[in-house]
Amino acid sequence: MAKEIISMSHKELDRLQIIRESVSRHITQDQAAERIGISVRQVKRLVQRYRVEGPQGLVSRRRGKRPNNAFSPEFRSLVISLVRDKYPDFGPTFASEKLREIHGLALSAETLRKWMVEAGLWRERRRKIARIYQRRQRRPCYGS
């Protein structure tokens, strides 16, 4: 019998342990729900899926898929081409404001900054290294 390797995050491993305790009746589903931070109904759903599919049933179904709110590659290439052609000397914040005002393209300055860095249009600034100063000697005090 060949063993199947399942990759799980730490959160999913904790969830698996709690669901196993619930299935073996060491804790109630109420307690499991409280420990995981979900409703009792969700625990019942997870227990049912664990009984049918085993540990694999607790792994996220969204793993490896594109987020629903991700920008399309076409939108990204349009934005990068506009910045390259019309706003080559603009910073990400100002460029995102102009893209919103003139072209009606709404995206955050941070997203644009990330895209500009990847396209080689913007260089990340290195943070200034904090200088360490030597502490001065305490002044002598009279008395005591």
Count of structural domains within the chain: 2
Q: Are residues 87 and 54 in the same domain?
A: no
- On whether residue 42 sits in a domain, the answer given is yes
- On whether residue 127 sits in a domain, the answer given is no
- On whether residue 64 sits in a domain, the answer given is no
Question: 52-78 burial by CB neighbour count: b if 16+ within 10 A, else e?
Answer: eeeeebbbeeeeeeeeeeeeeeeebee
Res 62: pLDDT: 86
Q: Are residues 14 and 37 in the same domain?
A: yes
Res 61: pLDDT: 85
Q: Are residues 54 and 27 in the same domain?
A: yes
Q: Are residues 46 and 23 in the same domain?
A: yes
- Name the average pLDDT for the chain: 90
- On whether residue 2 sits in a domain, the answer given is no
Res 102: pLDDT: 94
pLDDT tens-digit series, residues 36-93: 999 999 999 999 999 999 988 888 888 889 889 999 999 999 999 999 999 989 999 9
Q: Which range marks the domain in which residue 21 is found?
A: 10-58
Burial of 19 (0-12, 13-18, 19+ CB in 10 A): buried
